[in-house]
Amino acid sequence: MSPAHPSHSRSNVSRRARYIAVAVLTSVATLLATFATARADEKPTPSGLKVTIDARRVEYFADEGLIVARGNVRVSLSNGVAVDGDACSVDLGLRRFVVAGHVHLSTPGASYAGAAFADFLPFHRAYFIPLTDVPDRWTFLNDDWAHPELGREMPGDTFFLADTQGTAPFIRATAVVIDPDNYVSFSHVVFIAARGALATPPLPRYVRNYSQNPNFAVNSLSGASFDLPYGIGGSSASLDAVHFRYDPVLKTYFSFEHHSVFGGLGYAVFSLNPATQQPKQWNLLAYVPAGSAAALTFNSQLFTYQSGLSQPLSSNGFADVQYTRALRQSALKFEVAQSYDSLLAPTSLGYYGNPSHPFTPNHPLTAALSWAGFAQGVGTSGFTFRLLSGISTTHDAFGVSGTTTHDAQSVYVDALLSSPVYPGPFGTSLNGSYEERHVWLSFPNSADFQTAVVSDSKRFSKVFLTGSLQLQSANTQRLAELVASPNTSTGLVPEPLSPNGLPLLGGVATEFTHATNTALIVIAADAPSPYFQFTLTALRNWYTPVQEPFVAGPAQYQAIADARMKISKTLFLDIGRAYYFNWANQVWSPTFSLQVSAQ
Amino acid sequence: MIGMAKRLSLVAFVCVALIGACCGASLSDPSPTPTVQTPPPDLVAPSPTPLPLLVNGQIIDLERGYVVFSSGDAFKLSAQATITDDATGTAPSYALDPGVYAVATLDSQSGQVVALRTSLRPLAQGTPAAQIPRRYVVMASSPKPNPDLAPPAVAYTKGFSATVGVTIVVSVPANTPLGDDVYMSTDTSGWNPQAVKMQRLDGLHFQIEMEVQRGTEIHFLFTRGTWNTVERDRAGLQRPARDLVVPGGDVRVINVTVYRWADLP
């Protein structure tokens, strides 16, 4: 072998360098290609874009989650892109839209004529068919409007316009603003019913919120048997709604509710309910996370009796602040609650206007600290237990809970033992639990509550049968010397659930120093299909010391039937009624309970 | 004798071959029966007279001498092209706005549309535009593959059903009141606290069986019927909504646990 010539050696070195360079470039290109293709498996992400559509006619198909616009359509995106065309269809579920027919696309840098444009918002992909001399296919990736990918293959249904033939719209409007992840806001709205036979007069605006943030649903309105919300304003972080409501006492009235959401879990809700009647509740709820393991909760209510916004005849209210902190296997809660039974200056008569609005001087302040342990296993038995405890102090210059005592303290402990579900006889599933709570009060007084439950269940194909025996008891030394307030941290039951702090047995307030209720509950549920469910609940109550209509105790026998069926793609009907077996001459519950709501 | 054996073996061979062919034919293609379509001429046996090519689809634009279908495929309109209503055979009485369905007849020599039959309803005849040989589709740029359209490498999707049976079993805290129902509140219902009613399985468990579209993503929380009784985390703090993604495939059973309710300690 002859030694390598220097020039050969140099050329070998340079060739090797080229190979290395090519190898490096190939590796980098492969890596880039890998990253580029990896997007196909990525989950959709919010685009953050707002879409405004103006057209001669905008229609919203609620069941299908579709918006279809026709005639002089102009779609404007919040990033400056605008698309004009003959027709547009928006799929709110898939968060994509198509504009078709004589399309004109205006991007921040250029304008193009074309046949159709589609934007798959959560995937940051926009597809365009330019049409000048020869049609083409352009794909704008990741909102890069200056460098379209030419000729890139497109999904097969990219420009499909939703077919709404034979379907009546729910709303007809002239413009809509769409925040794809949160809400739609229609302008100049007409609501259509009975397949177009009925239509409302034009209304200025309607906002429908469909956010994935559940805190938009926090409800601060209480006490109506019919509620029809109507969104009048909204953004990705807020919603304003007017509610048309009915209840048997106040009849029909309007209420207002405002929601704000922030930071994923935080929210604030303000409401005025009713807004158009003299008795008014002004509510403010808030939840403010303080890091990942703590949160501040605020719950307040001001009650006024007034016409419009004139000087109230009477007023009362409360405010409750809680700070909750998660620990390793438990949680601590510090709570302060202040109630005012009358917020207006006293009158010489002792009441405002008439005796139904009495002056009550009490304004208890309660501060409490409670501890709640997480469920812990008892060895390897499958049983679990929970321990809870708390201390509180209540001050009222006018006497706590109507007593002459100005300061009362309470301490409570609670233990809950529960079994796992064991196989029972005849193929049944058996489980049970026992809870005991003891409250010491400084009046002095004390209260004990016990609850024991045994349940046995069996499934027959689509029918579920559960029989349960529940024993509850409540004991106290003196009925008068208890604490009832909005505060749960005293260990007693708060208002308005309980008028005196003792638990409700069989659904009725406890008005004896010693009371027990034993309930046999049998629940049969049939679910032959996902579109129909039927539940029948039978109850037998044994209440002591007295179980008598209009005196004390729940109905001896009770049966409740409830049927739920799907009536459209997105709505269900729930209908129920109770039968009391002639308890206090009551055979059936006064009315059916009817609910039509979204599913 | 040998001739007889040969003949027998030949008959046996033919029988086995026939049976094999029959079995093979019956097992070869498990895919669902396609809709009525005219196969493109270059996919069928050569014919002495070229067959007209029928393109089926939804028209999204008709301008500048082109007809564009919702697949994004554009075809050149012949100067002599006729446009008629499919039902009447006369000129359409409706505007040819985007969204009208059509069957376009392509001249297989020139590749141009020589006839366009339109309808306000989908038409059954012809080949979907996306399956037409690419040489008939007019496009300025060279076709480029799209990695986004590559099927996922591992996920198995059940091709015969658009829905997936999903069963959700929820374990509830021991202090859940006996007479209370448990519901799923979902984002798809506008967070209605009674959106999906669950069936009581036993003293500690509830379940619901649902048919869910493939590709569905649902965010949900459990409640006892009102927003004041929504589930919380173990410490009693608010928890983020649960997330259910149904990519496809067979029946799914999901077991989840509620640790606490907002109104109970």
Domain ranges, ordered by start, for chain B? 41-140, 163-261
CB B244 within 8 A of CB B255: no
Q: Does B235 touch chain A (CB under 8 A)?
A: yes
Indicate yes or no: CB of B174 within 8 angstroms of CB of A416: yes
pLDDT at B50: 52
Q: Evaluate if residue B29 carries a pLDDT over 70.
A: no
- Report residue A423 as tokens: 């196989």
Predicted pLDDT of residue B27: 36
Residues A272-302 have pLDDT tens digits of 999 999 999 999 999 999 999 999 999 999 9
Q: Among A81-85, A508-512, B50-54, which stretch is predicted with the lowest mean pLDDT?
A: B50-54
Token reading at B68? 């564009």
Residue B205 neighbours by CB under 8 Å, 6+ apart: A421, B169, B170, B171, B172
Q: Which of A135, A287, A521 sits opposite B238 (nearest CB)?
A: A287
Q: Report percent pLDDT > 90 for chain A.
A: 69
What pLDDT score was predicted for residue B32? 37
Position A382 pLDDT exceeds 50: yes
Which residues, at least 6 apart from A599, have a Cβ–Cβ distance to it below 8 Å? A566, A570, A571, A572, B186, B188, B189, B192, B195, B196
Would the ipTM clear 0.90, i.e. be above it? no
Q: Are A305 and A314 in contact (CB under 8 A)?
A: yes
Q: Which residues contact B201 (CB under 8 A, 6 or more apart)?
A: A429, A457, A459, A464, B169, B207
* CA-based nearest residue to B212, from A599, A212, A45: A599
pLDDT value at B39 more than 90? no
| A263 Rama sector, left if φ>0, alpha if ψ -120 to 50, beta otherwise | left
**pLDDT winner (highest mean) among A212-221, A481-490, B145-154:** A212-221
pLDDT at residue A29 is higher than 80: no
pLDDT (0 to 100) of residue A36: 39
Interchain CB distance below 8 Å, B203 and A100: no
pLDDT above 70 covers a percentage of chain A that reads: 93
Closest residue to B70, CB basis, from A160, A208, A384: A160
Assigned token pair, A316: 């009362």
Residue A454: burial class (beta carbons within 10 Å; 0-12, 13-18, 19+)? middle
- In chain A the domains, ranked by start, together with CATH numbers, are 51-194 (2.60.450), 504-599 (no CATH)
pLDDT at residue B164 tops 90 = no
From B58's Cα to the closest Cα of chain A, the distance in A is 7
Q: For B222-262, how does the pLDDT look when each residue is reduced to its tens digit (9 = 90+)?
A: 999 999 999 999 999 999 999 988 876 677 889 999 999 99
Are residues B201 and A464, on separate chains, in Cβ contact within 8 Å? yes
pLDDT for the residue A16: 57
Residues facing A88 on adjacent strands: A69, A99
> Residue A266: closest CA among chain B residues belongs to which residue?
B238
Long-range Cβ contact pairs of A524-530 (< 8 A, separation 24 or more)? A524/A463, A524/A464, A524/A465, A525/A463, A525/A464, A525/A465, A525/B199, A525/B200, A526/A462, A526/A463, A526/A464, A527/A462, A527/A464, A527/B199, A527/B209, A528/A462, A530/A566, A530/B209, A530/B210, A530/B211
Q: Identify the CATH assignment for B163-261 out of 2.60.40.10, 3.40.50.300, 3.50.50.60, 3.90.550.10.
A: 2.60.40.10
Mean pLDDT lowest among A264-273, A407-416, A495-504, A515-524: A495-504
pLDDT at A219 over 50: yes
Q: How does DSSP assign A426-458, residue by residue?
A: GG-EEEEEEEEEEEEETTTEEEEEEEEEEEEEE
Angle CA A309–A311–A313, to nearest 5: 115
Residues 171-200 of B with CB under 8 A from A: 173-175, 178-179, 181, 185-197, 199-200
**Is B121 touching A (CB cutoff 8 A)?**
yes
Tokens 């009907």 label which residue?
A573
Contact B143 A153 (CB under 8 A): yes
Residues of chain B in contact with residue A333, where contact means CB-CB under 8 angstroms, are: 236
Determine the length of chain A.
599
Give every CB contact of residue A585 below 8 A, 6+ residues apart in sequence: A549
Smallest Cα distance from A359 to chain B, Å: 31
Task: Nearest by CB to B70, from A152, A161, A597: name it.
Answer: A161
| Coil/strand/helix, residue A212 | coil
Q: What is the mean predicted confidence (pLDDT) over A291-317?
A: 94
- What is the rounded distance in angstroms from the CA atom of residue A536 to the CA atom of residue A529? 17
* SS3 (DSSP) at A408: strand
pLDDT at B245: 85
**Mean pLDDT of the residues in chain B:** 80
User: In this complex, do A129 and B259 lie within 8 Å of one another by their Cβ atoms?
Assistant: no
Taking only residues 54 to 113 of chain B, the set having a beta carbon closer than 8 angstroms to any beta carbon of chain A reads 58, 60-61, 63-64, 66, 68-72, 74, 97-99
**Torsion over CA: A84, A85, A90, A96 (sign):** negative
Q: Could you tell me how many residues make up chain B?
A: 265
Q: Does the pLDDT value for residue B152 go beyond 60?
A: no
Whether the per-residue pLDDT at A3 is higher than 50: the answer is: no
Band (B188; pLDDT cuts 50, 70, 90): confident
Query: Do the Cβ atoms of B68 and A131 come within 8 Å?
Result: yes
For residue B30, the Cα-to-chain-centroid distance in whole angstroms is 17
pLDDT of residue B18: 44
From residue B237, alpha-carbon distances to A220, A326, A330, B215, B221 in Å are 18, 8, 12, 31, 14
The mean pLDDT value for A54-74 works out to 94
